[in-house]
């Protein structure tokens, strides 16, 4: 996991300094099912709620995306 990346000191959306590096579970709905990705590192603004994901976030997210990707359907001719 990448750890030498500099973290944000202010929010890119609202310019607030209330931004912190956090590790949280992220959830989304896929085909009516709730998918939870545990321990996703990212930066979160505690003023506006915006979240910023870097390369280390995607190292955690991508395996879940691959696992839950829709199977391609064959075309009916």
pLDDT tens digits, residue range 17-70?
A: 999 999 999 998 888 889 899 999 999 999 999 999 999 999 999 988 788 775
Question: Does residue 75 fall inside a structural domain?
Answer: no
* Separation of CA 26 from chain center: 7
- Render pLDDT for 12-27 as a digit per residue (tens, 0 to 9): 999 999 999 999 999 9
Per-residue confidence (pLDDT) for residue 70, from 0 to 100: 59
CA 36 to chain centre: 11
Does residue 32 lie in a domain region? yes
Structural domain boundaries, residue 52? 19-67
Q: How many domains does the chain have?
A: 1
> Considering the domain boundaries, does residue 55 fall inside one?
yes
Q: How far is CA 50 from CA 12, 16, 40, 62, in A?
A: 9, 11, 15, 21
The confidence score (pLDDT) of residue 8 equals: 92
Question: Is residue 28 assigned to a domain?
Answer: yes
Number of helices and strands in the chain (H, E): 1, 3
């Amino acid at each position: 996991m990448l750890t030498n990346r500099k973290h944000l000191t202010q929010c890119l959306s609202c310019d607030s300094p209330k931004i912190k590096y956090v590790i949280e579970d992220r959830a989304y709905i896929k085909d009516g099912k709730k998918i939870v990705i545990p321990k996703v590192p990212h930066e979160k603004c505690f003023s506006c709620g915006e979240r910023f994901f870097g390369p280390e976030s995607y190292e955690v997210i991508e395996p879940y995306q691959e696992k839950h990707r829709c199977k391609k359907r064959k075309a009916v001719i």
